């Protein structure tokens, strides 16, 4: 579109409050733009307190949050540095350790009251040499070992392949059909699901429990169709789980194109596959989540948490999963401090360790918090990528959910101009253990369409992230944190 | 995100009605999947007519539209072929001619009542040799001529540069400061606009009217900062307009990185730039819009139009602008026919020629329609890219707008599950001349964040388009066409 006639047709736009060009010089930036932003935010607050229009005040402050984030926010640069200088950050790896230092160093500069590391004991799985999966007398298949998988041994293994679409098919086939074979789980994600996370949820049982189920019938290995809605050559890793004390067989994912190829070969007759991986589980290691806190000025005992997870899979740079969630959370802190906002409630940014294959950071955080009798009035997790925001999904214990949700919905008008809507649903894995504290749990929900194109792959890197989309996510979360902090939430009927 | 704990947390999902795996074999595809889809759609309609629940019926038919589009729709393949086999399609070019044949051939196979070409006389501008813009004793700048620009002559021209941010600055500077110079328009698009089209609308005056205004003060050429919110090396072309009978000087766009560089150089002192382009305006040519029609079974005199524009700028493949809108519109037809839906109203798919630099297709279409006393009850244009749908923007003559909009809003509940919302605002350039017929004009509104990363550039190609996002757009438009056709709209108070 371009036509000049169309120029007469633009939707009306709010003119920007603040000067928004970003000077090259960092000192000038602080002395000029940031100063103007602080002054403007201050003037808005003063002028509006005269008029006493609380909703207008909120609307203007939210506008200042967006203006700041889109012009001065550093979240994209942080993500750029983390993904290009560190890369993959699987728990127990050197990358994970470096990301703890990297984010702590940044948080230390933002002007919070306190930054600290919280210990957790994490599994330590290593991938080993590049995987090899090849049809005997046929094509090599693009493959990656699933996280937690044992290796095949240096020699690899060769076996006939049997394709199944559902875990329950294994029982019908029984040992007579499965013993000694490689089970190939090939049920695609359902493309008719509008929210792609639902399609993932409907297919990922194959990856997580496929090997544990197949070994019971004598399978020697497992190949899983990658969890992706695209047809391409990119294999997707992700966690798998063995039964406690049960027998173990290796599990690898192959690309969707290669899954189709293998399936087509199987239609023609018996197919043997050679597979080899040298991954292994090493003794657990000590790692850390990173926590930054601003103490609340009026209700310090009410904690608002915003977080993501620091760890990522090893084969990519974890830009969307979940580098985006980490820098979103850090951006909330930077924005509110730079706009000179003094939270009434205690604000915590938590970058959890080991969400991908153990959740040890989230569990350690909740344990520690419960031991101290803390109360999280709200916990917000960003762990669905750095795409354009669509809203927030809210969760809480049954007895308090309706009260919270009713109050949250009162802010719908303020957030609708930014394309944000509230829904009921899940929140985030790391914050889910906090549910028993009876605050509200909130999952940030960006557009989900492209998430599984990159999820757990070698291409989840900074090139997959759009700067504006990332910044809009940070601004959306900051706005909600502001509304909760300023207006509070109660679990009582009122 | 991945953690197993999270698996317990998935939002509940509607299970798919239809088998959705797409067989490789085209014959099998028609005989199996399409047959199942038609049967399912038929059974839904029969079973629901018994219950008489109109809204449930609509909801289920909309679900079948999405299921079909996401599994059987050919829109992505059409766009792939058009952008890779034809590429750029500027009015008057061979690419434009080929795209007319290409889309007519596809529409001919879909089973509509009639496909025809509608003539229009289009401008014929050609770019000539690759452009050259270079700071004298300095850096070469990434540049493209603006559409409609005259050339500098084979020798090029060298002149001192003066930077301005607003067209009105020209008058303040006057001939004494401007005469003999190249005017460099460098006002960036405003990043604080949430909808990027508003940022475009706030900056594009420089590109469109910059040269016509600057020449009045003796400028010899114009350089314009590319219309983009990104900092990169990609120059963006687009239309420019000279005053009728006025003097003409060449106009070129430079990349945002190079605009910053040039601006920084100017801060140090005088800068001379050499610029050269050999573009020229040739005599106008006859071209065509492509129209396909299904005659309405009950109200054939009420026309529902769905369209996009076939032409694109020459330097890229016009995948988002507006190949996406064309294949969206064609997909509406394919989906409704394959679901065996018989429209009550006349349904037209119109692929307009020459939106980018003349709108001659849209004007010819409206002229012809008015001459025949036709009535477009609704016209929907998709010309904002193939990104995830966010909703529709509605427009109409003042006296009828409120009636239409009230009826449209009654469908909000049906479309909300797909993330679609209705707003008031502009519609589309090609359909805007139909406003006087007093139907409703509707612009499809996908997510706008990435649109101007690609707009009018060499990188607006198929790699910039996500298959699912494109399909979701087509399904969104089809659903709205279905609702309008089935339920009708009235301009009367009722």
Query: Could you tell me if A314 and A377 lie in one domain?
Result: yes
Q: Are residues B393 and A11, on separate chains, in Cβ contact within 8 Å? A: yes
- Residues of B with CB below 8 A from A229's CB? 468
Compute the nearest-CA separation of A87 from chain B (Å).
17
Q: Could you give the CA distance from residue A423 to residue B206 in angstroms, rounded to a whole number?
A: 42
- Residues of A with CB below 8 A from B322's CB? 1
Judged by DSSP in three states, B273 sits in strand
Judged by DSSP in three states, B265 sits in helix
Q: Are residues A7 and B204, on separate chains, in Cβ contact within 8 Å? A: yes
Residue A157 forms beta bridges with which residues? A275
Kindly give the pairing relationship between strand B389-395 and strand B440-446: antiparallel
Compute the nearest-CA separation of A192 from chain B (Å).
5
**DSSP category for residue A33:** I
Tally C-beta pairs within 8 A across A and B.
Answer: 192
Q: Are residues A429 and B3, on separate chains, in Cβ contact within 8 Å? A: yes
The reported pLDDT for the residue numbered A492 is: 81
- Residues of A with CB below 8 A from B199's CB? 13
String of DSSP letters for B306-346: EEEE----SSS--IIIIIHHHHHHHHHHHHHHHTT---SEE
Compute the nearest-CA separation of B155 from chain A (Å).
31
CA atoms within 13 A on the CB side of B408: 26
Compute the nearest-CA separation of A371 from chain B (Å).
22
| Cβ atoms of A345 and A377 closer than 8 Å | yes
Tokens of B173: 């500077």
Nearest CB partner across the interface for A11, out of B198, B229, B390: B198
Judged by DSSP in three states, A201 sits in helix
What lies within 8 Å, CB to CB, of A248 at 6+ separation is A150, A211, A215, A242
The reported pLDDT for the residue numbered A319 is: 98
Q: Are residues B197 and A239, on separate chains, in Cβ contact within 8 Å? A: no
Residue B421 forms beta bridges with which residues? B391
Q: Are residues A449 and B469, on separate chains, in Cβ contact within 8 Å? A: yes
Q: Are residues A426 and B355, on separate chains, in Cβ contact within 8 Å? A: no
For residue A9, is it within any domain? no
Q: Are residues B190 and A241, on separate chains, in Cβ contact within 8 Å? A: no
Query: Could you tell me if A297 and A263 lie in one domain?
Result: no
Among B278, B304, B332, the domain-final residue is B278
The reported pLDDT for the residue numbered B53 is: 76
Residue entry with tokens 């988002």: B320
Query: Could you tell me if B178 and B290 lie in one domain?
Result: no
The reported pLDDT for the residue numbered B42 is: 58
Nearest CB partner across the interface for A322, out of B1, B193, B418: B1
Tokens of A228: 């992706």
Query: Could you tell me if A471 and A324 lie in one domain?
Result: yes
Nearest CB partner across the interface for A10, out of B20, B201, B241: B201
Q: Could you give the CA distance from residue B19 to residue A188 in angstroms, rounded to a whole number?
A: 12
Nearest CB partner across the interface for A450, out of B67, B417, B466: B466
The dihedral formed by the CA atoms of B107, B109, B114 and B119, expressed in degrees to the nearest 10:
40
Q: Are residues B3 and A419, on separate chains, in Cβ contact within 8 Å? A: no
The reported pLDDT for the residue numbered A42 is: 57
The reported pLDDT for the residue numbered B19 is: 30
Q: Are residues B432 and A466, on separate chains, in Cβ contact within 8 Å? A: no
Inter-axis angle of helices B467-487 and B54-72, nearest 10: 150
pLDDT tens-digit map of A11-66: 333 233 333 333 334 333 444 455 556 555 555 555 545 444 788 999 999 999 99
Q: What is the pLDDT along chain B (494 residues), one digit of tens a residue?
A: 544 444 433 333 333 333 333 333 343 344 445 555 655 565 555 555 544 478 899 999 999 999 999 999 999 999 999 999 999 999 999 999 999 999 999 999 999 999 999 999 999 999 999 999 999 999 999 999 999 999 999 999 999 999 999 999 999 999 999 999 999 999 999 999 999 999 999 999 999 999 999 999 999 999 999 999 999 999 999 999 999 999 999 999 999 999 999 999 999 999 999 999 999 999 999 999 999 999 999 999 999 999 999 999 999 999 999 999 999 999 999 999 999 999 999 999 999 999 999 999 999 999 999 999 999 999 999 999 999 999 999 999 999 999 999 999 999 999 999 999 999 999 999 999 999 999 999 999 999 999 999 999 999 999 999 999 999 999 999 999 999 999 999 988 65
Inter-axis angle of helices A324-338 and A54-72, nearest 10: 120
For residue A426, is it within any domain? yes
The reported pLDDT for the residue numbered B472 is: 98
Compute the nearest-CA separation of B12 from chain A (Å).
7
Q: Are residues A9 and B208, on separate chains, in Cβ contact within 8 Å? A: no
For residue B201, is it within any domain? yes
Compute the nearest-CA separation of A37 from chain B (Å).
13
Closest chain B CA to residue A264: B24
- Residues of B with CB below 8 A from A359's CB? 3, 5
Q: Are residues B192 and A70, on separate chains, in Cβ contact within 8 Å? A: yes
Kindly give the pairing relationship between strand A345-352 and strand A251-254: unpaired
Q: Domain with A368 in it: what CATH number?
A: 3.40.630.10
Nearest CB partner across the interface for B191, out of A20, A426, A429: A20
Closest chain A CA to residue B320: A1
Q: Could you give the CA distance from residue A296 to residue A344 in angstroms, rounded to a whole number?
A: 5
Query: Could you tell me if B274 and B337 lie in one domain?
Result: no
**Overall average pLDDT of the A398-416 stretch:** 97
For residue A14, is it within any domain? no
Select from A327, A285, A322 the least CA-distant residue to A81.
A327
Closest chain A CA to residue B191: A70
Give backbone dihedrals phi and psi of B14, rounded to 5 degrees, phi first: -70, 130
Q: Could you give the CA distance from residue B293 to residue B306 in angstroms, rounded to a whole number?
A: 10
pLDDT tens-digit map of A360-371: 999 999 999 999
**DSSP category for residue B147:** B
Number of separate domains in chain B: 2
Q: Could you give the CA distance from residue B6 to residue A347 in angstroms, rounded to a whole number?
A: 25
Nearest CB partner across the interface for B198, out of A10, A264, A359: A10
Query: Could you tell me if B240 and B167 lie in one domain?
Result: yes
Compute the nearest-CA separation of A381 from chain B (Å).
11
Residue B290 CB: number of other CB atoms within 10 A? 28
Tokens of A217: 């019938």
Residue B245 CB: number of other CB atoms within 10 A? 5
Query: Could you tell me if A364 and A473 lie in one domain?
Result: yes
Query: Could you tell me if B246 and B151 lie in one domain?
Result: yes
**DSSP category for residue B84:** I
Q: Are residues B239 and A4, on separate chains, in Cβ contact within 8 Å? A: yes
Indicate if the pLDDT at residue A95 is higher than 90. yes
pLDDT tens-digit map of B294-329: 999 999 999 999 999 999 999 999 999 999 999 999
- Residues of A with CB below 8 A from B425's CB? 11
Nearest CB partner across the interface for B9, out of A321, A390, A432: A432
Integer distance in angstroms from the first to the last C-alpha of chain A?
51
Percent of chain A with pLDDT over 90: 88
Query: Could you tell me if A202 and A292 lie in one domain?
Result: no
Compute the nearest-CA separation of B151 from chain A (Å).
22
Query: Could you tell me if A368 and A400 lie in one domain?
Result: yes
For residue A98, is it within any domain? yes
For residue A69, is it within any domain? yes
For residue B290, is it within any domain? yes
Judged by DSSP in three states, B126 sits in strand
Q: Are residues A208 and B239, on separate chains, in Cβ contact within 8 Å? A: no
Judged by DSSP in three states, A63 sits in helix
- Residues of A with CB below 8 A from B313's CB? 2
- Residues of A with CB below 8 A from B442's CB? none
Interface test with A, best of B66, B166, B190, B192 (most A CBs within 10 A): B192
Among B278, B296, B313, the domain-final residue is B278
Q: Are residues A70 and B18, on separate chains, in Cβ contact within 8 Å? A: no
**DSSP category for residue B83:** I
Among B234, B260, B278, the domain-final residue is B278
Query: Could you tell me if A452 and A330 lie in one domain?
Result: yes
The reported pLDDT for the residue numbered B54 is: 84
- Residues of A with CB below 8 A from B427's CB? 9
Q: Are residues A6 and B429, on separate chains, in Cβ contact within 8 Å? A: yes
Q: Are residues A194 and B432, on separate chains, in Cβ contact within 8 Å? A: no
pLDDT tens-digit map of A297-306: 999 999 999 9
- Residues of B with CB below 8 A from A418's CB? 194
Q: Are residues A1 and B428, on separate chains, in Cβ contact within 8 Å? A: yes
Judged by DSSP in three states, B445 sits in strand
Closest chain B CA to residue A361: B3
pTM of structure:
0.91
Q: Are residues A13 and B198, on separate chains, in Cβ contact within 8 Å? A: yes
Q: Are residues B449 and A70, on separate chains, in Cβ contact within 8 Å? A: no
Domain containing B84 equals: 41-123+284-487
The reported pLDDT for the residue numbered B22 is: 37
Query: Could you tell me if A219 and A352 lie in one domain?
Result: no
- Residues of B with CB below 8 A from A415's CB? none
Q: Could you give the CA distance from residue A133 to residue A251 in angstroms, rounded to a whole number?
A: 11
Tokens of A110: 């933002």
For residue B381, is it within any domain? yes
Q: Are residues B449 and A321, on separate chains, in Cβ contact within 8 Å? A: no
**ipTM score for this prediction:** 0.90
Residue A351 forms beta bridges with which residues? A290, A308
Q: Could you give the CA distance from residue B416 to residue B412 in angstroms, rounded to a whole number?
A: 6
Q: Could you give the CA distance from residue A248 to residue A146 in angstroms, rounded to a whole number?
A: 13
Q: Could you give the CA distance from residue A170 to residue A178 in angstroms, rounded to a whole number?
A: 8
What sign has the CA pseudo-torsion A362, A118, A82, A75?
A: positive
Q: How far is CA B250 from the centre of its chain?
A: 27
- Residues of A with CB below 8 A from B229's CB? 468
Q: Are residues A191 and B20, on separate chains, in Cβ contact within 8 Å? A: yes
Residue entry with tokens 């007093």: B438
Q: Domain with B188 in it: what CATH number?
A: 3.50.30.30
String of DSSP letters for B180-223: TSEEEE-PPP-TT-SSHHHHHHTTTHHHHHHHHHHGGGT--EEE
Residue A289 forms beta bridges with which residues? A118
Q: Are residues B13 and A241, on separate chains, in Cβ contact within 8 Å? A: no
């Amino acid at each position: 579109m371009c036509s000049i006639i169309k120029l007469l047709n633009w939707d009306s736009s709010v003119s920007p409050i603040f000067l928004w060009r970003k000077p090259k010089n960092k000192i000038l930036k602080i002395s000029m733009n940031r100063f103007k932003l602080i002054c403007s935010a201050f003037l808005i607050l003063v002028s509006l307190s005269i008029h006493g229009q609380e909703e207008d005040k909120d609307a203007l402050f939210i506008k200042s949050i967006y203006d700041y984030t889109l012009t001065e926010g550093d979240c994209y640069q942080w993500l750029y540095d983390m993904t290009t200088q560190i890369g993959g950050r699987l728990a127990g790896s050197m990358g994970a350790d470096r990301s703890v230092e990297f984010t702590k160093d940044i948080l230390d500069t933002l002007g919070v009251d306190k930054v600290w590391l919280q210990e957790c004991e994490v599994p330590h799985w290593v991938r080993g040499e590049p995987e090899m999966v090849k049809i005997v007398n046929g094509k090599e298949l693009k493959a990656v070992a699933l996280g937690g998988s044992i290796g095949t041994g240096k020699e690899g293994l060769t076996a006939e392949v049997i394709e199944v679409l559902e875990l329950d098919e294994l029982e019908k086939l029984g040992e007579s059909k499965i013993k000694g074979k490689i089970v190939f789980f090939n049920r695609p994600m359902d493309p008719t699901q509008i929210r792609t996370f639902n399609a993932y949820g409907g297919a990922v049982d194959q990856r997580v429990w496929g090997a544990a189920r197949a070994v019971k019938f004598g399978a020697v290995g497992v190949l899983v169709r990658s969890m992706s809605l695209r047809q391409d050559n990119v294999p997707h890793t992700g966690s798998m789980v063995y039964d406690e004390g049960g027998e173990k067989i290796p599990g690898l994912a192959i690309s969707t194109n290669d899954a189709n190829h293998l399936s087509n070969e199987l239609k023609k007759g018996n197919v043997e596959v050679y597979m080899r991986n040298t991954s292994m589980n090493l003794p657990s290691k000590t790692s850390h989540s990173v926590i930054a806190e601003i103490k609340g000025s009026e209700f310090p005992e009410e904690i608002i948490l915003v977080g993501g997870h620091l760890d990522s899979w090893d084969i990519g740079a974890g830009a969307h999963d979940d580098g985006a969630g980490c820098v979103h959370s850090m951006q909330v802190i930077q924005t509110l401090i730079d706009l000179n906002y003094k939270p009434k409630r205690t604000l915590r940014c938590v970058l959890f360790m080991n969400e991908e294959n153990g959740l040890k950071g989230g569990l350690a955080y909740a344990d520690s918090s419960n031991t101290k009798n803390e109360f999280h009035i709200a916990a917000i997790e960003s762990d669905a990528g750095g795409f354009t925001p669509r809203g927030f999904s809210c969760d809480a214990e049954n007895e308090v959910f309706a009260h919270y949700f009713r109050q949250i919905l009162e802010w719908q008008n303020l957030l609708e101009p930014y394309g944000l809507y509230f829904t009921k649903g899940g929140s985030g894995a790391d914050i889910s253990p906090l549910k028993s504290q009876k605050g509200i749990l909130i999952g940030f929900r960006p557009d989900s369409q492209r998430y599984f194109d990159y999820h757990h792959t070698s291409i989840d890197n900074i090139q997959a992230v759009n700067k504006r989309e990332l910044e809009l996510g940070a601004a959306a979360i900051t706005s909600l944190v502001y509304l909760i902090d300023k207006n509070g939430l109660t679990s009582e009927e009122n």
